[in-house]
Amino acid sequence: MQEPGPAGAPHHDGSPLYVANQAPALGDVLALRLRVPASWGTAVRVFLRSLRDGEAHYDEAGSSPGDAGWSWWEAQVRAVNPALRYRFLLEVADGDGTRWMWLNARGASSRDTPDRDDFRIDCRPAPADWARNGVVYQVFPDRFARSGPRKPDGLPGWAVACAWNDPVEPRGELTPRQIYGGDLDGIIGKLDHLVALGVTVLYVTPFFPARSNHRYDATTFDVVDPLLGGDDALVRLVRAAHARNISVIGDLTANHTGDAHEWFLTALADPTSVEAGFYYFTEDHTDYACWFGVPSLPKLDWASPELRRRFVEGPDSVVARWLLPPFSLDGWRIDVANMTGRHGDVDLNTEVAHLIRATMDAVRPGLILLAESTGDATENLAGQAWDGAMTYSNLTRPLWQWLARGDAAVNFFGTPLPGVPRIGGGDVVATHVALSAGFSWRMRTQNMSALNTHDTARAGTVMIDGGPAVGIVLIFLLPGLPTLFAGDEFGLRGVNGEDSRAPMPWDASAADRPDDLRPLIAALSVLRAGSPALREGAVRWLAATDDVIVLAREHEQECFVIAAARADYDGVPVPLNLLPGPWADAEQVFLGVPGAKGLPEDGVLVLSGQGPGVQAWRFPGLRLP
């Protein structure tokens, strides 16, 4: 018997359909389920292989009848370590005898597989519902909205005042110096815009004083930049957001400060000062380590006990102060978290993450902690500290490659070759599966799923016409926290991160708003908020061609089948026995973009449709044995 493709394989992904207890404690006994399709053969025996203190342990699973050509298996396993790593071993009988198969987070294999690809469950409390089910909106404060109509004045010497409609310089000496005058009170004035989009989490890039418009080069962590309105403006913003059921998370650089930071100035002036130990100076104190060789961003040395005390330990630390009243932020996104605490042969990365987590849990449990980790984030998030990541590798990058224009003249996430390398739908699925395999299910659902951010080109510049709409639909329908960068709703353009930070076109003509995606985003927010399947349902990939991807989201209460396309298509087959229910029970869901139609024939659902576009069908919930 030939090995079936992924759509017809046994299935488990760690979602609540298969693991009811999503926040186990050490010592808990968990029931882990597996579905096996009849087309795979007859599963004779199934074992759950888990690692206990690093050694393999096997628990035999029992079977129970299923429906629609599937059988269910269930094994009991004790959570011995903070991270429970496991896979399934199947003995399958068919016309050729019996064979062994492994099933891990990468899929089914007849070969031995590495432990790093095993499923994972983190044994710790779950974040609050708002942090697991949110829709995130990212704001770059200087470019979002002004609280007053005037051009900024009274600026520090490094800054250059700009009118709201002045063009952004995407490169050059002026780029970090342009100040447009957006402030925190300006954000307050636009909170109802966020409510209309369905936003539930506001993510604000750094608000500390600095010598750039991006403010990742903080001069202090003790106050809010007066250019943004000062401390009182942050208090007003958080209160106004909370009144609208919007949580607010800040952006903190634990990897470096600015070279004008009060700590660094003391360190530079006095090699004997305690602050000199906060940084990596050469022995003669004439040079220092910095972020990617940029002298204005000196790197912090987390071996310093005093740095730890000031930055992260206790209620008076930098981390804690802004989470407590009167500011009451609801969490942090940690800038370049993958680099923090790492320098040459020093690696304190995991230790720093745990310090931040411990302080947050001590001062206000239930807050969210997100790590920026732009590459493969699985190793950086392997500890018990992070709730999720702002990462690009498992979704943003493959979506760009699938939906890119052939002539997209942008940099592809720092790679040295020009343009965006295009891939087909099969490679999108393979990339997403491979780069999500190391995450626990909870981590997958709490990663920030972004189409673009303040550090990238805009999707509208990268993608084919209609591509950003398809991408936005997918970030709402796949596991993760849908994350919008201010301006996505207007289809803004940008050739790089700096160019993407153009001021919001609140009073602009339609020409300055290339695509009005507000109705689509609002509809998706409503759909997702009311759908347990879209927030936490299992994912099965049903079909993939170059131009079309078909998947199912499955839950006890409801299921979806979703077809996403980058071009018109016809005759894409999906076996009816792979659907989450009878096709006659399917209800088509209109998503506001060109869709698909399906016609069943001879045991196969044949899909045809327009692209770029996405369509979904809602099914009843999956019946469990």
**342, β-bridge pairs:** 347
What are the structural domains, with CATH classification, of the chain?
6-122 (2.60.40.10), 136-258+291-529 (3.20.20.80), 259-290 (no CATH), 535-620 (2.60.40)
Q: What is the pTM of this model?
A: 0.95
Which regions in the chain score pLDDT beneath 50? 1-5
- CA distances to 142, 144, 183 from 180, rounded to whole Å, are 6, 9, 9
Question: Which pLDDT value is given to residue 286?
Answer: 94
- Whole-number average pLDDT of the chain: 93
Q: Whole-angstrom distance between the N-terminal and C-terminal Cα of the chain?
A: 28
- Joined together, the tokens standing for residue 161 give 């005042």
244-247 own/partner pairs: CB under 8 Å, 24+ apart? 244/191, 244/192, 244/194, 244/195, 245/200, 246/191, 246/194, 246/195, 246/199, 246/200, 246/201, 246/202, 247/130, 247/131, 247/134, 247/200, 247/201, 247/202, 247/330, 247/331, 247/368
Question: Which pLDDT value is given to residue 42?
Answer: 76
Question: Which pLDDT value is given to residue 7?
Answer: 66
Q: How far apart are CA 552 and CA 392, in angstroms?
A: 23
Q: How far apart are CA 559 and CA 623, in angstroms?
A: 11
**107, β-bridge pairs:** 104
Contact 235, 326 (CB under 8 A): yes
558 sits in which H/E element: strand 558-565
Q: How far apart are CA 333 and CA 336, in angstroms?
A: 9
HSE of 387, CA atoms in CB hemisphere, 13 A = 30
Q: Which residues contact 518 (CB under 8 A, 6 or more apart)?
A: 196, 197, 489, 490
With CA atoms as reference, report the closest residue to 58 among 89, 36, 80, 100. 89
Length of the chain: 625
Helix 396-403 and helix 467-477: axis angle, to 10°? Answer: 150
Q: Which residues contact 372 (CB under 8 A, 6 or more apart)?
A: 333, 334, 335, 336, 337, 338, 389, 390, 391
Q: Which residues contact 97 (CB under 8 A, 6 or more apart)?
A: none
Contact 208, 223 (CB under 8 A): yes
Question: Which pLDDT value is given to residue 531?
Answer: 97
- Joined together, the tokens standing for residue 597 give 């139609």
At 208-255, the pLDDT tens digits run 999 999 999 999 999 999 999 999 999 999 999 999 999 999 999 999
- For the beta carbon of residue 47, count every other beta carbon within 10 angstroms: 18
At 31-63, the pLDDT tens digits run 999 999 877 777 789 999 999 999 999 999 998
Phi, psi of 519 (to 5 degrees): -60, -40
CA angle (373 as vertex; 489, 302 as ends), nearest 5: 130
Phi, psi of 315 (to 5 degrees): -70, -15
Q: How far apart are CA 307 and CA 543, in angstroms?
A: 52
Beta strand segments in 415-460, E: 448-450
